[in-house]
């Protein structure tokens, strides 16, 4: 076993990333990134409706691209040394499938139908359906939302299925069942043609589909069919058991054996959610708060299993074994973080590119696109910090936690004719930090010990200004790890355990988890000012009116 290799794959919002690693030494032998071609073109999406869909061909093509690049320098003999592949994806990102587990959009009839594609985590079209689920759950003898923070979200599995059932009769008629992206990717790698053979992962089932041992698994058929009669066709077509990501789903498909020279004995691990694997790759331990910071954030926390762990209201759930097998895993997060900065960049650059696009060279356009946020960060850092500065809430994409509500929108207070782009960017960065503070505050309300804060993800490694503001607002040191691909690294760790290289995740982490690259320490003077500004943020949040509540509507 000492000369074996493993692959970890992470399917994010924009791309698939892969790592080829030696699980014994931790050496990364190669990396690869493949961007989703149809997604880059904006196909099947309508931001005005909060509709975000991805075609399975984007994933299929990217898998081939990643494997080709990862294995390019390996000999035929070395390729046979790859013993396991671990994967994770976004979630909740479900898709309608046939009896074999094949997404309907891979059939000619549905190839351009967004309802037959993967409904991305950030798709918020199912707000009304989520409200109906919550209303029924509070009347039902068993509250199936109890382990999901008490509030079911429009981002999650059942909301999206119900939304689709009501709007596309043909998908409703043809769909045998539904799968999460995090289950479909490893099933595709194995080449299974029988849906019942797929081991569903605990991460997505528990945090997104209300699966819990305590109430016997998924919500009952009676509950779902009372919610809407379109669920009758799914009765007995879902799953009962769930599995952790350190378990084996099956052996690699002959397609990949023949095309890439992998051993037919290469195992594929059960899937998982990207941020959960990212927390493992970053080195999560009990009572450590791990923030995976990218387009959105996911905040992960684990505790040893014990009888007296309270149910925390308004988070994305707490599930036995969902992050690290053998511990209780908690998830929270913000529905927009880096997406807010990206929105502001587009706001500024859009008119410029429209007016001057033909006059600017490709290099100039690239420079503007790549350097604008760095420039704004430097300018924002120079600004004095005052209590009455411009302030935003961070609900540009609704609120995930605490207390999911995707009908709210961002508000701001404090504009004047002297407000500059740097002032706005500073306020946007502070708003995302205030959102993080609200989440940590919810855990602290329940007396959950937070001994350490770890940060990982693209923003954590590339945006010192953002992380320093975060440390000042949270009033706690933040350790940033030295790897910007911790989600793929987490998949490597799970693959190594599934292959038997290590007995469990904790042992694998000792050798493979990322190290700390830098620690951001809060500045006392700024902490005091941010405490007062956070009170204003809370006031704006509390008094943020929905459109229908405005007195002139």
Asked if residue 92 has a cis previous peptide bond (ω within 30° of 0), the answer is: yes
Nearest CA to 241 out of 194, 202, 210 is that of 202
- Tell the residue number behind the tokens 């038997």, with chain if given: 500
Report how far apart the first and last C-alpha atoms of the chain are (Å, whole number). 68
Q: Which residues contact 506 (CB under 8 A, 6 or more apart)?
A: 324
By CB atoms closer than 10 A (0-12, 13-18, 19+), residue 532 is exposed
CB-CB contact of 302 with 323 (8 Å): yes
Torsions phi, psi of 450, nearest 5? -115, 100
- Using alpha carbons, select from 122, 207, 119, 208 the residue that is nearest to residue 164: 119
Distance of alpha carbon 547 from alpha carbon 340, whole angstroms: 21
CB 452 within 8 A of CB 287: yes
* Residue 283 CB contacts under 8 Å (≥ 6 apart), including other chains: 454, 481, 509, 513, 514
17 and 30 Cβ atoms separated by less than 8 Å: no
Work out whether the CA dihedral 120, 318, 489, 476 comes out positive or negative.
Answer: positive
3-state secondary structure 516-547: EEEEECCCHHHHHHHHHHHHHHHHHHHCCCCH
CB 292 within 8 A of CB 91: no
Dist CA 387 CA 384 (whole Å): 10
3-state secondary structure of 101: coil
User: What's the confidence (pLDDT) of residue 229?
Assistant: 97
* CA nearest neighbour of 37 among 17, 18, 19, 56: 56
CA dist 62 and 189 (Å) reads 12
Rounded to whole angstroms, the Cα distance separating 403 from 517 reads 33
pTM of the model as a whole: 0.93
- What number of other Cβ atoms are within 10 A of residue 478's Cβ? 22
Element housing 222 (H / E):
helix 221-227
Q: Answer for the pair 453, 479: CB distance below 8 angstroms, yes or no.
A: yes
Using DSSP bridges, classify how beta strands 267-269 and 82-89 pair: parallel, antiparallel or unpaired: parallel
Residue 502 is classified by DSSP as: S
Cα–Cα distance for residue pair 413/392, rounded to 1 Å: 7
CA dihedral 159, 162, 168, 174 (to 10 degrees): 110
Structure tokens at 237: 């077509």
Tell me the pLDDT of the chain (553 aa) as tens digits: 578 999 999 999 999 999 999 999 999 999 999 999 999 999 999 998 999 999 999 999 999 999 999 999 999 999 999 999 999 999 999 999 999 999 999 999 999 999 999 999 999 999 999 999 999 999 999 999 999 999 999 999 999 999 999 999 999 999 999 999 999 999 999 999 999 999 999 999 999 999 999 999 999 999 999 999 999 999 899 999 999 999 999 999 999 999 999 999 999 999 999 999 999 999 999 999 999 998 899 999 999 988 789 999 999 999 999 999 999 999 999 999 999 999 999 999 999 999 998 899 999 999 999 999 999 999 999 999 999 999 999 999 899 999 999 889 999 999 999 999 999 999 999 999 999 999 999 999 999 999 999 999 989 999 999 999 999 999 999 999 998 899 999 999 999 999 999 999 999 999 999 999 999 999 999 999 999 999 999 999 988 756 556 555 5
B/e letters for 60-81, b = 16+ CB within 10 Å, e = fewer, are ebbbebbbebbbeebeeeebbb
pLDDT at 547: 55
**Res 548: pLDDT:** 58
- What kind and span of H or E run contains 203? helix 202-208
Q: How many other CB atoms sit within 10 Å of the CB of residue 172?
A: 17
């Amino acid at each position: 076993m000492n000369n074996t290799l493993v692959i970890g794959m992470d399917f994010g919002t924009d791309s698939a990333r892969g790592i080829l690693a030696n699980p014994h030494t931790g050496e990364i032998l190669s990396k690869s990134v493949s961007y989703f071609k149809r997604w880059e073109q904006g196909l099947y999406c309508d931001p005005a409706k909060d509709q975000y869909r991805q075609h399975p061909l984007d994933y299929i093509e990217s898998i081939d691209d990643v494997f080709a690049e990862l294995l390019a320098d390996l000999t035929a003999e070395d390729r046979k040394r790859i013993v396991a592949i671990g994967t994770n994806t976004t979630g909740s990102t479900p898709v309608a499938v046939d009896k074999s587990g094949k997404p309907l959009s891979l059939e000619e009839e549905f190839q351009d139908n967004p309802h037959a594609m993967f409904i991305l985590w950030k798709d918020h079209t199912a707000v009304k359906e989520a409200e109906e689920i919550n209303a029924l759950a509070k009347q039902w003898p068993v509250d199936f939302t109890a382990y999901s923070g008490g509030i079911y979200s429009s981002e999650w599995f059942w909301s999206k299925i119900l939304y689709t059932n009501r709007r596309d009769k043909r998908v409703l008629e043809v769909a045998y069942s539904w799968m999460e992206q995090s289950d479909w990717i490893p099933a595709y790698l194995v080449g299974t043609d029988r849906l019942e053979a797929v081991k569903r992962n605990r991460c997505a089932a528990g945090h997104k589909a209300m699966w819990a041992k305590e109430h016997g698994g998924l919500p009952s058929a009676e509950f779902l069919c009372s919610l809407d009669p379109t669920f009758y066709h799914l009765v007995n077509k879902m799953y009962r058991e769930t599995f952790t990501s350190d378990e084996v789903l099956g052996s690699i498909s002959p397609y990949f054996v023949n095309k890439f020279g992998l051993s037919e004995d290469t195992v594929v691990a059960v899937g998982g959610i990207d941020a959960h694997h990212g927390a493992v790759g970053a080195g999560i331990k009990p009572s450590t708060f791990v923030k995976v910071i990218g387009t959105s954030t996911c905040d992960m926390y684990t505790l040893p299993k014990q009888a007296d762990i309270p149910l925390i209201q308004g988070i994305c759930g707490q599930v036995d074994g969902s992050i690290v097998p053998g511990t209780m895993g908690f998830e929270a997060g913000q529905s927009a973080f880096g997406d807010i900065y990206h929105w502001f960049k587009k706001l500024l650059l859009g008119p410029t590119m429209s007016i001057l696009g033909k006059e600017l060279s490709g290099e100039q356009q690239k420079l503007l696109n790549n350097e604008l946020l760095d420039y704004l960060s430097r300018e924002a850092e120079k600004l004095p910090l005052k209590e009455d500065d411009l302030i935003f809430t961070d609900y540009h994409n609704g609120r995930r936690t605490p207390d999911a509500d995707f009908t709210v929108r961002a508000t701001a207070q404090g504009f004047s004719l002297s407000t500059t782009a740097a002032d706005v960017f500073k306020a946007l960065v502070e708003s995302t930090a205030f959102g993080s503070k609200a989440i940590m505050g919810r855990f602290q309300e329940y007396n959950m010990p937070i001994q350490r804060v770890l940060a990982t993800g693209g923003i954590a490694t590339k945006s010192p200004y953002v992380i320093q503001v975060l440390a000042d607002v949270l009033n706690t040191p933040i350790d940033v790890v030295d790897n910007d691909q911790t989600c793929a690294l987490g998949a490597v760790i799970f693959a190594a355990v599934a292959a038997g290289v290590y007995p469990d995740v904790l042992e694998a982490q000792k050798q493979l988890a990322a190290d700390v690259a830098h620690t951001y320490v809060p500045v006392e003077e700024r902490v005091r000012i941010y405490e007062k500004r956070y009170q204003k943020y809370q006031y704006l949040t509390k008094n943020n009116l929905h459109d229908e509540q405005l007195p002139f509507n």
